[in-house]
Amino acid sequence: MSKFYNAKRKRNLYDPNSDIPFKISRSKIDLFLNCPRCFYLDRRLGVAQPPGYPFSLNSAVDKLLKKEFDMHRAKATAHPLMKKYKLDLVPFPHEKLDEWRDALGGGMQYHDKDTNLIITGAIDDVWHDSKGEVSIVDYKATSKDGEVSLDADWQIGYKWQMEMYQWLFRKNNFKVSDTGYFVYANGDADKEAFDGKLEFDIKIIPYKGKDDWVSGVINKIHTCLSSKEIPKSSPECDYCAYRAATREFEGEVV
């Protein structure tokens, strides 16, 4: 990990005196919501949290689901899961779909003129109905006993993610349904043998989003970045707790 992790970044830092629009990704908005201090250290001072390891299996499921839904997109037909859940929807065809899916390229973007921040987010999929209203879709993968749901406290991040994407599409002048969908793949670990394959039970979970919080958070992010003071630590931030513990043993003031 140390080979790729730059503990003190010099580029992509927010400069309050610059007129150049500054990009904030959906994941960095999540970071701000979880801990403004870690967000400020990252975007303003260039000290990011150490990266986690990639979930290759999740990425494989994501890639295969996209291929599967894209086949129906090309034919303008409903996926069998849509029929199973009685959804009057088909995959949405659009010339910019690959661009919206490209996280490294920024995905869907919106320039907020009031803050001069460009908000970005890379989606998994978009479906639409016969009236032209689009629904945001996100793919998730796990392996757990019982039914998958969105009930766990930690899954608030999934809901923020959906609402951010709905907000981005509305800002780009799309007619967006309040209801988005999670295509949730749950690996079955109860089989008698592996036999070189893992089978998944795939469930569609509707979620009614409410994006009225997003603009206010963007304004708070701008205020945070423009400040000369590092915000206080979040009491629930593991990274801040770790830094505080190490400072105590190193004889520094916490």
Neighbours of 161 (CB within 10 A): 24
**Would you say 82 and 202 are in contact if contact means Cβ atoms under 8 Å apart?**
no
What integer pLDDT is reported at residue 249 of this predicted model? Answer: 85
**Separation in Å, CA 148 to CA 42, 137, 145, 181, 203:** 33, 16, 8, 13, 8
Residue 65 covered by a domain: yes
Strands of the sheet with 108-112, listed across from one edge: 22-25, 117-121, 108-112
The reported pLDDT for the residue numbered 252 is: 54
Range of the domain at 129: 22-249
Query: What's the pLDDT at 192?
Result: 73
Report yes or no on 117 lying in a domain: yes
The region that residue 177 occupies, defined by phi over 0 for left and psi between -120 and 50 for alpha, beta otherwise, is: beta
Domain contains 234:
yes
Q: What are the start-end ranges of the H helices in the chain?
A: 26-34, 36-43, 56-75, 80-84, 97-101, 156-171, 214-226, 238-249
Q: Which pLDDT belongs to residue 2? A: 44
Residue 77 forms part of a structural domain: yes
User: How many distinct structural domains can be found in the chain?
Assistant: 1
What's the confidence (pLDDT) of residue 251?
Answer: 66
**C-alpha–C-alpha distance, residues 105 and 103, integer Å:** 5
* Model confidence, pTM: 0.91
Residue 15 is assigned to a structural domain of this protein: no
C-alpha 32/C-alpha 44 separation (Å) is 12
In a domain, 105, yes or no: yes
Q: Is residue 72 part of a domain?
A: yes
CATH of the domain at 145: 3.90.320
In a domain, 254, yes or no: no
pLDDT at residue 254 in the model: 46
**Longest CA pairwise span in the chain (Å):** 66
Q: Which residue has the tokens 């520094």?
A: 252
Which regions of the chain are under pLDDT 70? 1-4, 251-254
